Chain A
């Protein structure tokens, strides 16, 4: 795939994104591409999902310089020099972290399309607030829409992790 030719908007500029600890060079891309598009289509990181393309559903959530953002709303070329963490950077393939495993065990996953974004959001929540109250979980995750589960098992998964981490510390 190359840039959309003849648009007058394209550019052959090369820019580099710092994603999951690696420098990733992006060539021949249209500068109008979102970070979500660049991650998925330029770098092959398919874990971030597009479901609304306007920042309403949270499926594309990633961390940029530690901030939880909707990557569909970020211009890829504007994220140069920032530390980007996607779902692929959370844990190595095949070895889920405790939060990911809790989602699986608690029944928090059905179709799974919202799940990567929810993992990013829930991880950010637990980093900020290790023992969130139920209402806090609801409020903090309310930017992520799930159409399958009705949210109950997701709340359970987050609570399980909070309890287990407290026990471990």
Chain B
């Protein structure tokens, strides 16, 4: 027993900027990523991919591969024992193409061998005879029906309209534009990797894999292997970033099949070139928008048409489409809308989830429109956005009322209050490294113009349209140590840190052990949609609270006190109406308390034919202001500064939130001025880090941040997801700044030098 004077505060509770628990192993190179895992007697796996965007497979002859010493397995579609296809929403994608290939990079066969180079030679020895077909490249041809279906499920993945309010409203102010976004790659650094260990009896498998959602992977893998779910056990291999690209199956089924076929452990690791082809990407999108407003600039009606190019297979295209069309208005009041959206199938690379998930596309368009509207009514970018800013209680174009905290105006005002960069054009020290083009040292300071631009966004959090993406946590307290068991994919975002902070705050323990992340506990849902802090945070919090109730019962009984009078204070259990103070360590000595909790968000509805329904769970908001220097002669852009105020609800770990904001802005900047996976007639032209340009230290601007903390009543910990918003409106802010510097329109990202100087 101790007295009140000895109350001990714990470090690492909610709100503290503590360091990651996996930080030291990571900085020392001793953290095992999925690609680092090995096993005695393992084989390497590798995949043969289609060189054609659309072709019929006439014949596959694998005999050449078998003649190479060291080859232990060669498999094709004929060797898939279970369901031949898989997919997140629609199971339309073959494990291996059987009769038709539909994109460059589609898996056709796989081999297992004793060395990566043996694999390479084995793949080269497989003969596939193709009959080339006319590829469907232009998404409009998927809509107008002028190309025959390239898949039994047809060329339209989903069509959705939103029709709300008075359709006859016109003007008096009308602004219109067509906006295009190209294909962005997630470009996580840790390449796709897995290690599969077959059970000795051959009737089950264990897979260590870098993924965003273990249980969904397991479901899809088991179906393709023809096994019961419980015969497929998944453990999270260390994940080197994800950003959406690991939400779909890539090498999982292939690795398992090779391991089961050979009865030996199989490792598979993609190359970078293969990775660009082997996972889904951000959808290229073309958006037309027309805004009708009054003379002050208040939006009266929006019209829009979205075309998302989903590529060869459905992946999450239908959900991306819904995110796009339902966010068409942006964070602005709008009572009348006419929106038409398509997600279509083509013979381009399959597209699916990437940070921002359809809202990146919508935001680029609606923010371009807001600037046009400001110009049309002689307003300015800040005033026009404040005039139209959405508030809690406003109704969206789906009819859904925004019940979330919605500090849109505050985000804009606090961003505007952040200091502009003090350096003049080209930098105060005259260092040419600060000029556009950086170390290329090509820009002439005399040709450099500065511009300032704005972007503001609304983003849905969690899954939508009736999906119950719950999360599960099991928490055990014994002898003052809390153990947390979750299946939540840690991809770098830092939920492992937050989980410990929650357990310390609720249970008053110092020591929190995070058990292996695997499928021996219930699903956590996906690490996507800015949802894990809310969902898995809610699950860990709920399980910890159940454990705490039982601890109070034990302490209450031992001391003859009503458990309802007990509370955790620092590291102690105290009697709120008396003098008892006992440390949690002492109170839990010799007992084991274990509880499991599932957190479910509130139910959502589907959309009807007119796009009406409460389809989203909650929303977050953000504002970005970009400052750029542009060499107008060379077409080079230097992003000088991004200022941002973000609605985070409550910052559970401010350092971690800052990391998400800065990292998200880097990806938004990449899409604005650098990143484009270029395809010509379905053939990818730049599948390497030499040719696909990613932001470096020299490209990244200063970021100044204001966290808007208005706790969200619907969120279990008051915290909103923070991962996606930074990526969404940073892109249009930068493009607006370039427009400002140039004094002319730009309607496509990434903005290329030729768009500026030609």
Contacts and interface: CB of A to CB of B under 8 A. Distances in A.
B28 A150 contact: no
B69 interface: yes
Interface stretch (B572-580, B597-605, B692-700, B741-749): B692-700
A142 B28 contact: no
B697 A155 contact: yes
A87 B28 contact: yes
A54 B663 contact: no
Contacts of A137: 697
Interface stretch (A75-83, A100-108, A159-167): A100-108
A119 B491 CA distance: 20
B311 interface: no
B114 A138 contact: no
A47 B115 contact: no
Contacts of A87: 28-29
A82 to B, nearest CB: 20
B241 A152 contact: no
Interface stretch (B80-88, B623-631, B653-661): B653-661
Contact of B28 (A30, A93, A148): A93
B68 A112 contact: no
Interface stretch (B186-194, B293-301, B535-543, B614-622): B186-194
A149 interface: yes
A53 B272 contact: yes
A12 to B, nearest CB: 14
B48 interface: no
A5 B117 CA distance: 10
B109 to A, nearest CB: 19
Given A112-B492, A142-B698, A52 B688 contact: yes
B703 A6 contact: no
Given A112-B22, A113-B190, A6 B70 contact: yes
Contact of A150 (B20, B35, B663): B663
Contacts of A40: 36
A71 interface: no
A169 interface: no
A54 B272 CA distance: 9
B29 A109 contact: no
Given A52-B688, A151-B697, A5 B114 contact: yes
A119 B70 CA distance: 38
A111 B28 contact: no
A113 B9 CA distance: 34
Interface stretch (B134-142, B332-340, B431-439): B431-439
A94 B30 CA distance: 9
A96 B24 CA distance: 7
A111 B492 contact: yes
Dominant secondary structure of chain B at its interface with chain A: loop
B19 interface: yes
B233 to A, nearest CB: 23
A46 interface: yes
A47 B30 contact: yes
B271 A53 contact: yes
B626 to A, nearest CB: 14
A32 B656 CA distance: 42
A25 interface: no
B118 interface: yes
Nearest to B493: A110
A150 B364 CA distance: 21
A145 interface: yes
A74 interface: no
Interface in B527-583: none
A32 B117 contact: yes
B664 interface: yes
A71 to B, nearest CB: 12
Contacts of A45: 29
B29 A86 contact: yes
B662 interface: yes
A114 interface: yes
A111 B188 contact: yes
A4 B434 CA distance: 49
B240 interface: yes
A156 to B, nearest CB: 10
B4 interface: no
Contacts of B697: 137-139, 141-142, 144, 151, 154-155
Given A4-B114, A6-B69, A54 B28 contact: no
Nearest to B696: A142
A30 B117 contact: yes
A57 B189 contact: yes
A56 B686 CA distance: 14
B757 to A, nearest CB: 24
A68 interface: no
A2 B114 contact: yes
Interface in B254-306: 271-272
Contacts of A94: 24, 28
Interface string A52-64: 1110110100000
A57 to B, nearest CB: 6
Given A30-B115, A116-B27, A151 B271 contact: no
Nearest to A86: B29
Contact of A3 (B36, B115, B191): B115
B10 interface: no
A9 B70 CA distance: 14
A98 B579 CA distance: 45
Contacts of A2: 70, 114-115
Contacts of B27: 96, 100-101, 103-104, 109, 112, 115-116, 119
A150 B703 contact: yes
Contacts of A59: 189
A140 to B, nearest CB: 8
A141 B700 CA distance: 12
A39 to B, nearest CB: 10
B190 A7 contact: no
A145 B70 contact: no
Contacts of A86: 29
A135 B117 CA distance: 42
Nearest to A100: B27
Interface in B677-704: 688-690, 694-698, 700, 702-703
B383 to A, nearest CB: 30
A158 to B, nearest CB: 10
B271 A47 contact: no
B148 interface: no
Nearest to B122: A4
A144 to B, nearest CB: 8
B114 A52 contact: no
A49 B28 contact: no
Nearest to A119: B27
B666 A151 contact: yes
B733 to A, nearest CB: 15
A33 to B, nearest CB: 9
B446 interface: no
Interface in B695-748: 695-698, 700, 702-703
Interface string A102-136: 01110101111111100100000000000000010
Contacts of A26: none
B29 A47 contact: yes
B189 A5 contact: no
Nearest to B115: A4
A109 B496 CA distance: 13
Given A1-B42, A116-B28, A152-B700, 14 more contacts: A32-B117, A47-B29, A51-B272, A52-B690, A96-B24, A101-B24, A107-B19, A110-B494, A112-B23, A141-B697, A145-B696, A147-B667, A153-B658, A154-B697
Interface of A: 1-7, 9, 30, 32, 40, 45-54, 56-57, 59, 86-88, 90-91, 93-94, 96, 100-101, 103-105, 107, 109-116, 119, 135, 137-139, 141-155
Q: Which 6 A-B pairs have the closest CB atoms?
A: A47-B29, A111-B492, A112-B26, A113-B240, A150-B662, A87-B29
15 contacts: A51-B189, A52-B690, A59-B189, A88-B30, A94-B24, A105-B19, A111-B189, A112-B240, A116-B28, A135-B431, A143-B696, A144-B697, A145-B696, A147-B188, A150-B661
